[in-house]
């Protein structure tokens, strides 16, 4: 399982129906679980992005499928990064 950090930004369309945010959040969590993963954390953040979602998924393709389905409603855009645990990263450097 891989860890992913997803940064989300609400769109004008998404903010028109801000009251549906709870429903959209629950839908993302359910889709992540249905895709074989789990939500590690989700936060509202200040700055260039509005939301931070940390997930554990079998692969980037599995997360991509979930996020593409969720962006189809036009309420949020996403940018996703792969997170490598620092100990694993350090071990990788030892073989270089």
The 3-class secondary structure across 9-68, one letter per residue, is EECHHHHHCHHHHHHHHHHHHHHHHHCCCEEEEEEECCCCCCEEEEEEECCHHHHHHHHH
Q: Please report, for the domain that includes residue 37, its CATH number.
A: 3.30.70.1060
Counted domains in the chain = 1
pTM of the entire structure?
Answer: 0.86
Per-residue model confidence as pLDDT tens digits over 32-89:
999 999 999 999 999 999 999 999 999 999 999 999 988 888 888 999 999 999 999 9
- Residue 63, classified by CB atoms within 10 Å of its CB into exposed (0-12), middle (13-18) or buried (19+), is buried
Alpha-carbon dihedral 68, 72, 78, 84, rounded to 10 degrees: -20
Instruction: Give which of 17, 24, 16, 85 is closest to 51, Cα–Cα.
Output: 24
Q: What angle do CA 43, 46, 50 make, to 5 degrees?
A: 60
94 or 51: which carries more pLDDT confidence? 51
Print the domain residue range for 67.
2-94
Q: 80 near 86, Cβ under 8 Å?
A: no
């Amino acid at each position: 399982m891989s860890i992913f950090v997803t940064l989300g930004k609400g769109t004008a369309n998404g903010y028109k129906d801000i009251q549906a945010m709870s429903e959209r959040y629950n839908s993302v969590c359910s889709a992540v679980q249905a895709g074989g993963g789990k939500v590690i954390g989700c936060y509202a953040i200040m700055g260039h992005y509005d939301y931070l979602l940390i997930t554990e998924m079998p692969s980037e393709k599995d997360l991509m499928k979930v996020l593409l389905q969720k962006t189809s409603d036009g309420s949020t855009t996403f940018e996703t990064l792969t997170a490598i645990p620092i100990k694993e990263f350090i071990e990788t450097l030892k073989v270089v």
